[in-house]
Amino acid sequence: MAFRLAPRSIWQASNRLTGLPRVTATRALQHARTYAVSSDQNPRTAIVTGSSRGIGKAIALRLAQDGYDICVNDIHANKPGAEEVVSEIKSMGRNAIHYLADVSKLSEVEKMVETSVSELGPLNTMVANAGIAQVKALLDLTEEDLKRMFEVNVYGVYNCYSSAAKQMIKQGGGGKILGAASIVAFKPFALLSHYSASKWAVRGMTQAFAMEMASHNITVNAYAPGIVGTAMWDLIDEELGKLKGAKKGETIKKYTEDLIALGRTSVPEDVSKVVSFLTGPDSDYVTGQTIVVDGGIVFT
């Protein structure tokens, strides 16, 4: 049945609408928020955990390129790599320090934040990138396997989020906090069950932090890489290959061909570009999100 509205009704409705108050540009701007530190404020500083190699290194170098002074973090075993990253950043004309700490230990993270602020200046950005992976069947997992996975991937992210947030609140002026999730935070992989569970936890914690930090003008987001050509994925490829009788490199090649829409394995720089956006001013109205950067495996 066709529905008709009499011309007089339209005129009356239009007449009533003209009496409503208009939201002017000036009034809208009263509600604007600035989360990140202005790009012209010098220096901007960031801590990037697990940044002696792989995705973390790419992030540290990209943020230095974006104008940040960087605290490069990793564990003691990766000290040479951390020192090399610091040298690369300094060669770019930015300041950098390395700080060796295990992110699963809150006291060490708190000391790292304190040292970064002391040597580089107020903390503007925290990138909780450090993480571990393990290939193992669910029924073969030990209590220690689960404990260690969550200590690094979940407690470690919480330690970084909370320590950075407290420092940013103390400073005033807001900030940016980011964490490393994964595509398995959306769709778990078989034989990576506890790793997948830990990344689901990161995604959930990121959303919760975003809600509670919003009143402090701190945005909290995560990035979710897919299959990346890093040491971690070399390990996953090797271990999955052992279980399935595949040669080294065959598993990651098959995953790339079968799963990735763009048809190539990711490189760390694919991820660092997304992190650059999330730490920059163009993402000031983005919070609580986990951004997938996987070439088209998981579609959200």
Active site residues: 195, 199
Beta carbons of 55 and 225 less than 8 angstroms apart? yes
In the numeric block, the tokens 């002017």 are attached to: 24
Cβ atoms < 10 Å from Cβ of 64: 25
Two tokens, residue 129:
């990138």
SS3 300: coil
Which DSSP state fits 18? T
Picking from 205, 188, 206, the residue whose alpha carbon sits closest to that of residue 197 is: 188
**Per-position DSSP letters for 165-219, written without gaps between them:** HHHHHHH-S-EEEEEE--GGGTS--TTBHHHHHHHHHHHHHHHHHHHHHGGGTEE
Two tokens, residue 130:
């450090």
**Per-position DSSP letters for 212-276, written without gaps between them:** HHGGGTEEEEEEEE-SBSSHHHHHHHHHHHHHHTPPTTHHHHHHHHHH-TT-S-B-HHHHHHHHH
